[in-house]
Amino acid sequence: MFTPMFKRYLLLFLVILATACNNNPKEADNKDYIYKVVGVKDGDTMVLLSPDNIQTTVRLAEVDCPEKSQAFGQAAKQFTSDLCFGKQVKLIANTQDRYGRTVGQVELSDGTNVNYALVKNGYAWQYRAYSKSEQLQSLEEQARQGHLGLWQDNNPTPPWEFRKEGKAQRATNKDAKPKKAKRHYKKRKSKYHDTTSF
């Protein structure tokens, strides 16, 4: 019924089609990467362990938690830890920051977005320099109105301002620090003289 030449072309076509389907970049991009949360450094930074035992430090995208030394900094860290430490999570990575950390969204197995949960419960600001999400903006506004978390303070300092103030303070302290005068040492003559002559 089919000629041998036709069968060869059909087989070749099927092989090419199967290869193209397996190498579809859209499918690869949508693949779920499941990790275990093995460390929480602060409210918006955690350490994930891949199934092949590779650790990845992740900075949560679009949000900024108070620094650990700021009011509610430790509370934000505790919230993140309670929410996801030791659990399986999905990482939706966006990019890498200048410190080499992966920046992305982290989701729990029940679909809870950790980034958004921090803002919703008043433990983070929407990081507007890096986020235009209307949903995050709305969640922050609701947390503000409900006086949740850090919004219990009348006028909390955003962490990016806190970091800027800290950097300026360190620079001022460095400039104000008196420089030590250099000491000049005199060479001492040895009390032992070589009197041997050749």
Please give the pLDDT value at position 168. Answer: 72
Per annotation, catalytic residue among 59, 62, 107, 140: 59
Please give the pLDDT value at position 14. Answer: 58
Residue 71 to residue 65: CA distance in whole angstroms? 10
Query: Would the pTM of this model clear 0.85, i.e. be above it?
Result: no
**Bridge partners, 58 (sequence order):** 46, 102
Please give the pLDDT value at position 72. Answer: 96
User: What residue segments make up the domains of the chain, in order of their start?
Assistant: 30-152
Per annotation, catalytic residue among 8, 27, 62, 67: 67
Q: Output the CA angle 127-154-144, nearest 5 degrees.
A: 50
Active site residue 67: yes
Please give the pLDDT value at position 190. Answer: 55
Residue 31 to residue 131: CA distance in whole angstroms? 24
Active site residue 144: no
What CATH number has the domain spanning 30-152?
A: 2.40.50.90
Q: Please answer whether residues 37 and 87 qualify as being in contact, where contact means their C-beta atoms are separated by less than 8 angstroms.
A: yes
Per annotation, catalytic residue among 62, 101, 107, 140: 101
- Between the two ends of the chain, the Cα-to-Cα distance in Å is 113
Please give the pLDDT value at position 33. Answer: 74
The backbone torsions φ and ψ at residue 93, rounded to the nearest 5 degrees and listed phi first, read -85, 140
**Bridge partners, 57 (sequence order):** 47
pLDDT in tens for each of the 198 residues of the chain?
Answer: 667 666 666 666 655 655 555 444 333 343 457 999 999 999 999 999 999 999 999 999 999 999 999 999 999 999 999 999 999 999 998 799 999 999 999 999 999 999 999 999 999 999 999 999 999 999 999 999 999 999 999 999 999 999 998 777 777 766 666 666 566 656 666 555 555 554
Provide the 3-class DSSP secondary structure of residue 27. helix
Length in residues, the chain: 198
DSSP 66: P
Q: Where are the beta strands (DSSP E) in the chain?
A: 34-42, 45-49, 55-60, 63-64, 88-96, 102-108, 125-126
Residue 48, burial from CB neighbour count under 10 angstroms (0-12, 13-18, 19+): buried
Provide the 3-class DSSP secondary structure of residue 113. strand
Amino acid making up residue 40 = V
